[in-house]
Structure formats: C-alpha cells, structure tokens
Structure 1
Amino acid sequence: MNAPLAHYYMYTGHNSYLTGNQLSSDSSSEPIVKALRKGVRVIELDLWPNSRGNKVKVCHGGTLTSPVNLNKCLSATRDHAFLASEFPVVITFEDHLTPRLQAKVAKIVTKTFESKLHRPDTDQLAEFPSPESLKRKILISTKPPKEYLERQSSMEKEYNSAQSEELSDKDSSNQDEEEKNVIPEYRHLIAIHAGKPKGRLVNSLRIDTSKVQRLSLSEQELEEISKENGQDLVRFTQKNLLRIYPKGTRFDSSNYNPLLGWMHGAQMVAFNMQGYGKYLWIMEGMFKANGQCGYVKKPDFLLDKDHIFDPAKPLPVKTNLKV
C-alpha cells in the first residue's frame, strides 16, 4: 500500500446521501454510514445553497429529493470512516456554492475533522501520496474556486450590468475584496483537485507533468472516448485519478458495468450503493480483495509506462493441449 493513490482502484460511491431513487428519495446520513461500514472509501456530497442563500444543504439538485444538513453528513463520515478500514477516505464535493458559502464549508470541515483532515503542503502535487501514508486521514476533492468563478463569470457580468445603476463602485470593490479573502480558506482544503472535460474529451487526457488531478467522466463519455483513445485513458490514469459516474437517466439508482472503467485504469468507478443488481455484486466482490480495505492494486500492465496497454487490442490466447 506504498504506491501512489493512482495505482489503486478505490471503492467509490455516487450521491452517497440518497436513500433510494435519484428523483424523489430522501437525503440522509444513514446511507453514508452504511457505505463506510462496508468499506467504501470515496463518498460524494452535492453542495447547494438553501433558498435564502445563507446556508449549505446536501441534496440532488433540480429534483424532488429532500435535503440533509451538511454537518450531519460530515459528522457521520468522521465517526464511521475508519471502522471497516484504516485507509484514507476521500469526500468529493459536487460544489454549487458561492465564495461566501465555500468559506462556511471550509470552517465546518476544519472544525469537524480537525487532525483527521489531510491538507497538502502545495496546490500542485507532482504525485499523489500513498494510502499507507494517509492512514486514518480524510481528503477533500473538488474543483478549485477559480473554476467556480470562471463558470459563473458570464452570469455575473449580466447580473452586474443589470444592477450597475443600484450599486456604487465602492460597494462592488468591497464585494470583490471580500470574495478574494474567503476563497483561500476553501482552496486550502482541497487535497485532490478535480476537473471536468472542456471541449473535446481527448484534450482532457493531456498529461501535465507538473501536477496531478482528478477528472470525472460519465459512463457515456467513457464509452465514447474509449473507442479510439483507450491508450490515452490508460496513460492518464497511470498518474492521475479518473472518476466514472452513472449517466443521468439512471433515475432508479441502477448501475453500469464497472469493467470498462477498470480495464482503462479508472480508479473511482462510482456506484449507487443503495442500488441493486449484478453490477453492484461485481463491485462488492471486487472489493472483497486486499482484506476488504477499500483499495485494490491495479494490475502491472496498466502501470507500465514503457508499454501502454491497449484495451481494444485482441490479446493472444494461450492454450495448453495435453495429449
């Protein structure tokens, strides 16, 4: 367990707070507890502002799912993170928050996890640490605030234009300064920087030798890019983390075949743990390995940098004929 995180498959949940379907079920901390107790090492929380915009709620946005308090989810994670395994737990934030609310989250996370929270010494890791070095640590993974601000920039320009007659230059300047001050608090939480594809999918797989990151693809995007760029996926996952998540039409919390992600080196094949069916059984069976610690080492052929494995290439079949 001394290799970098990127060398391991990680037992990963999707929308970990949901008790049932993706559209109308309740959000609760109980599914998080159940997942952690069976060894899941990656928990996902969707963070949204409440109706007044002054507090953070966890729910599946744009649906009828009920919200749950962020503090409950984080406390449940803290209390049950290391009962099944001592190896690190990663919390992925699907972040839809303003800078002010991000600052609130930073304070809540810091207060809840205290010494269990892993804070990297630098923003740009050249290589992920090992599971062994991160024992009993909790890592936060989300996109940096800069990406949030870029995503919101067009809407902010429209809003600021409409409000320009009501706001003075002084007020605007004060707000900008305030946002600059709160962003570092949140940014310093992030142990694994995340991103989503922009433009052509294959462009997202370019290797940056100066830093590592986590990329998220839907199961459909994985199917598309693996047809012609399978080796690029394998090369990317030798150093970086790749998370695959269920397509948006899986309203019933069903799951997909995890083998396509695993054979391309994807470490975080995210599943609806409250779901059902044979693919969930495959997932559970996979992580019975390695002492059920939630981490399984990838095979050497996926880590060989000199000979990049091509999942689409037919493999020679060896047979022994006994006469």
Structure 2
Amino acid sequence: MVSAALEEYLAANGDGETFDSLAAKSPIKDVPFDGSHPMTHYFISSSHNTYLLADQLWGKASPQAYATALHGLNARAPARCVEIDVWYTKSKGLIVTHGHTFTGNVPFKDVCQAIGETVQPNDLPVFISLECHVDPDQQPELIKTMEDVWGDKLLKEKLQHLGEKKASPDDLRGRIVMMVEWYPTPGQAASAAIRLDEDDSASSSSDSGDESDNSGRKEMKQFKQTHKNNKAKISDGLAKLGIYANSFKPTPGWLEREIIEPTHALINISESALLDLLKDTKVQDRLIEHGQHHLRRCYPKGLRVDSMNMDPAPIWRCGTHVVGMNMQHWDKGTHINGALFRDTQGFVLKPRSLLGGPKRPGNATLKLTVVGGDDIPLAKDQAIYMNAKLYTHEKRYDWKTKSVKDHKGDPMFNETVEWTYKDDDLVFLKVEMKEDEWGKDDELASYTLLVDRLEQGLRFWPLFDNKGAPSQGKLLVKVEYTGAQ
C-alpha cells in the first residue's frame, strides 16, 4: 500500500505523475546495442572461478553456477566470459575444480552441458577462459568432450570472410569462443611482442650495436628460458581452438612493443601487476591505447581466497576489456560490475575516451533529492537512513540523510545533496538503506548505477537485498545531472 506521505508529495511536486506512472518508468536509460565494432572496443562481463558457490578454499562447486552467471540473475550482470579450471584424475576423469584446495569438483562434461544449454543461435558469444591443468596426452579427450557437447556452437576455425581482421560480437553470435594459453613456436617471441628469427638474431648478436635489438633478443631468451617446458602443456589440437583469444601472461616490456604474434593476442594480467603499473600515471594512456588493439583480461590476485572482489572501475578506466569477478560474492565489486552491465547482453561499448577520442573536459554536477521509500525491508523496529556514495576517478563522496524511525517501511526524507566533481565516463553511484544502531549499521537494501545512464527527474529506484536479490522496496529520487559532454 502506497504511503500517504508519498502520495501527498507527488500531488504537490509530481507534475502530474502518479505512483503507478512512475513505477512503470525505468530509472536508467536504455542504451541501444551496436555489436559491429571489433571485440577490442568492448567491455565484456566476466565471471571468475565460475564453478564455485562460495570461497576458494572450501566452497562447493556446481555446474548450475555457469547457467546462473550467464543469465545474470537478480542484480548480477549477465556474464559473457566464464572460467573453467579443468583437471584430470584417474578416478573421475576430467573434472572442474580449484586445484590444491578443499573445494568441491564437478565433471567437465556437466559444465560443458550447462554452458551449451544457455547459448542460443542469436546470442552474443560466450568466451571460455580455460585454465588447462590436463596433460597433453589427455587433451584429445578434453577436445572431444567440448566438440561432442557443444557441436557447431564451438568455434573451431577462423571466419574466412574476416581474414586477419578482428571479429566483432555480431560476427560470433551463437558461438562459444575459447581463450587458450599461447606459447611461441621457433621464431616467435611473445614477451618481446615482435617477430624475431632465431637464426638471424643469433648470427647478428655480435655485430649489432643497437641496444634495443640486444634488449629484444635478451628478452626473447628470457621468455623462452622461463617457458621452455610450458609449450608441452598445450597440445597442438587444443592450441588450434585459441582462434580469436590467444592468451599469455606478460613479461617486462610487453607494453612498449607492437604485438605481431599472436595475431589475436589476449594479455592475461593479474590485478596486482596491473595496479602496480597504474601507479605511474603516464602508463594509463599507454594502457588505453594498447587496449584499442589487443584484448586484455585482468584476474583477481591470489590472496582473494574468500572470493572478495577487486574494484573493476580503475581496471576498466585503463582500457581493460575483461575483469574477472567472483559473482558468487556480493560486494562493492559486484555492485559496480552490475551497474555497468545490468540490462545489457554482457557487452558494453567503451566510451569515446578509451577508443582514441578526447577525454571529458571540466566538471559534472549531480543533484539528488531523496524523497522517500516504499516498502523498505526492515529487520526490526529501528531508525533507518539513506547513505549515498559517489565513486569518481579521483575520490569517493559520501552523504547520508537524517535517521527516521516511525516509518513502518515508508520513510520520508525529502533531503537534497549536490556534488560537483571532475567528470569522467565511469562514475558510479551507490545508495544504501541502513539501520541506525549502535556499532556497525546493517545494510537493508541498496542500488548501484552508472551515473551516465541516470534518467533525469523523478524516478523510483529498485532496491536489492544484501545478497543481490530484488526486494519489494523502492526509493523515490529526483535527479538533476549535468555532465561535461
């Protein structure tokens, strides 16, 4: 039942709007999808350790987790990249599990079936980030399982009409695309990211006085020494499936050299390594430019055994396409990931500033009038308030309303906040309904969104509980936003 206070407010300030008319309007803009650009022009929603239902030490595993991630249930974004850690055991054959831990495991075939059942002919592609711990002599069984279960959905060869061009999401609709580890064959140096002929470099090493050439040869030697046994980890048959996503971990100097081999490189870099690079502000633009030409995936640092997530926004801001999220955990990272990808198909075109266009000039202003709530979930008869957090590139802004007690789930605040901040394309806003009590205030419900997608004027914002499921609660907010376009 609508509170009398809300009805009274709308009658006086709603410009003819009613509770029902506002409830039918979306709080965020509908962004038409254009899937014709090269894959490097998109952010791709990604699930890390997709098979796990909890932490990375003891958590249970389930093939159903793949369907959940790909569908993007509740407040979670639909994933278009999922991870499979596949191992081989004598007793169970091919299984998916988090190795060297006490987590559960599931048959690899069951995981393939769960993924295959979600992929329909006109769907945008699903990328498989394959962590292969299967010896080469068992990899034919691995390949056969994927081929048998996925059939023609599995991309097994390049699209002839593209030649060496990068594929677009539209080109790969209805397909399952493998990310496979790539290692150089003789004459290739992935770490140096340039094509070098071993015989030529060896014969000219004593003659050349060019320091950069010597550096390149030294780095190639270092790469080959480091990975001398790794080539055997991936059989030729499995390597052939890495068509549009040849994955390799970078070594020093990778950002400064043009990648010629592999043609469709995917830089697979850890959260720690990437954030370390970002400490040098001059590197940011180089990363953005690099990401216009080559895919990049960032995976969580190894210490996140509790499945807590990194903040994906700084990773996106440097042009990274794929940020591995532990979607089984509902925290700040999944809130922000959901805000970018919610109500999309899991692919979002990068803003102009990350595709070679100009950065936004000047400041933006966001003014929020928080009117009141409707059917806010209550744990007990406790005063509640609304807390707002604005995440910009430079800092976080915090604000909260006064606490209201005699509300019965329909608190009226009617308070206003106005922020002026340096504009950028990836500013996020989170609102939280919290209980006002001694100690840590419990979060009752929240909503996170991308500021660029905000609808102006009066809108009801949906609220999700602390597990990401929809609640009955709604928050009436008036938005006045001026961005520096």
Q: Compute the TM-score of the two structures, normalised by the length of structure 1.
A: 0.79
| Among 279, 285, 289, the residue aligned to 2:333 | 279
Quick check: 1:72 aligned with 2:110? yes
Quick check: 1:304 aligned with 2:356? yes
Letter in 1 for 2:104: S
Q: Which residue of 1 aligns with 2:468?
A: none
Identity score, percent: 27
Q: Which residue of 1 aligns with 2:86?
A: 47
> Offset at 1:54?
8.5
**What is the CA deviation profile of residues 50-109 of structure 1, one whole-angstrom value per residue up to 9, with x for unaligned ones?**
1x39932211111111221100001100001349x8100001101122111222111111
| Among 154, 166, 174, the residue aligned to 1:128 | 166
Quick check: 1:293 aligned with 2:332? no
Q: Compute the TM-score of the two structures, normalised by the length of structure 2.
A: 0.54
**What is the CA deviation profile of residues 205-264 of structure 1, one whole-angstrom value per residue up to 9, with x for unaligned ones?**
632246121111111111111222222211221011111111111111111111111101
> Comparing 259-268 with 111-120, which one deviates more in the overlay?
111-120
Distance of 2:353 and 2:230 partners within structure 1: 46
Letter in 1 for 2:100: G
Distance of 1:150 and 1:75 partners within structure 2: 39
Give aligned pairs, total. 283
**What is the CA deviation profile of residues 249-300 of structure 1, one whole-angstrom value per residue up to 9, with x for unaligned ones?**
1111111111111101111011001011122111011102xx5211000011
Higher helix share: 1
Unaligned runs of 5+ in 2: 1-34, 73-77, 186-223, 366-485
RMSD, aligned CA: 3.1
Distance 1:205 1:66, change over 3 A: farther
**SS of corresponding position for 2:235:** helix
Deviation above 3 Å: which 4+ runs of structure 1?
A: 124-127, 144-147, 149-156
Q: Which residue of 2 aligns with 1:244?
A: 298
8 A contact 1:6–1:240 mirrored in 2: yes
Q: Which residue of 2 aligns with 1:162?
A: none
| Among 339, 347, 362, the residue aligned to 1:317 | 362
Quick check: 1:259 aligned with 2:310? no
Structure 1 segment 89-238 matched on structure 2, within 5 A: 89-121=126-158, 126-144=164-182, 153=228, 183-191=235-243, 192-198=245-251, 200=252, 202-203=253-254, 206-209=257-260, 211-228=263-280, 229-238=283-292
Distance 1:209 1:105, change over 3 A: same
Quick check: 1:59 aligned with 2:97? yes
Higher strand share: 2
| Among 71, 88, 102, the residue aligned to 2:125 | 88
> Offset at 1:111?
1.1
Letter in 2 for 1:218: S
Distance of 2:315 and 2:116 partners within structure 1: 29
**SS of corresponding position for 1:190:** coil
Distance 1:100 1:280, change over 3 A: same
Greater relative contact order, per chain length (Cα 8 Å cut-off, separation 6+): 1
**What is the CA deviation profile of residues 137-195 of structure 1, one whole-angstrom value per residue up to 9, with x for unaligned ones?**
11011113768x98775599xxxxxxxxxxxxxxxxxxxxxx89x93322222221100
**What is the CA deviation profile of residues 115-155 of structure 1, one whole-angstrom value per residue up to 9, with x for unaligned ones?**
11112338x974420001111111011113768x9877559
Unaligned runs of 5+ in 1: 157-178, 310-314
